[in-house]
Amino acid sequence: MDVMEVIRQRRSVRSYEDREVEEEVLKQVMEAGRLAPSARNLQEWKFVVVRDKALRQKLVDAAAGQQFVGEAPVVIVACAVEHDHIMPCGHPSHLIDVAIAIDHITLAACELGLGTCWVGAFDQKKVRDILGIPDSVEVIELLPMGYPAGWPGARLRKPFGEVVCYDGWQD
């Protein structure tokens, strides 16, 4: 599959088969995150890969009761261990850099037949407490992952001309 095909096929999957993700497949997916670019090459991320069923069930409560979080055979908890660098544009680099790494992970997962779903509805303190993550570390995103029980259809996207303009802002 080429990268554009993977981008077109990637979906937010909220229903997973009761099937473990093979260790070698999981390593390939996580390697994609490790190789992601970051501002000043800080690589601020650390990923907690949660496979234990009891821990995944506890994450359901931390994720506003979203059951699919516990049903996925893997939940990747994306964290920023450093979060002090502000880029010259005024944005904190860790939020952007971790998002880039997560996107690499989601695309690699899709290519390997796995589904993922970005989850931002969660309580950081609860996630930290469940997984023993230090208070100095920011939990940025939860990413349930597994083999989809079904592949959702494509979501509507805005037309190209509505989101892209050239050589200056255009309404």
- Read off the pTM: 0.95
In b/e form, how buried is each residue of 123-140, taking b as 16+ CB within 10 angstroms? eeeebbebbebeeebbbb
Which residues in the chain show pLDDT less than 50? none
* pLDDT for position 35: 98
* pLDDT for position 152: 84
Q: Could you name the CATH architecture of 3-163?
A: 3-Layer(aba) Sandwich (3.40)
CA distances (Å), origin 46, targets 18, 42, 114, 115, 147: 27, 12, 21, 21, 23
* pLDDT for position 154: 85
* pLDDT for position 134: 98
* pLDDT for position 47: 98
* pLDDT for position 119: 98
* pLDDT for position 153: 86
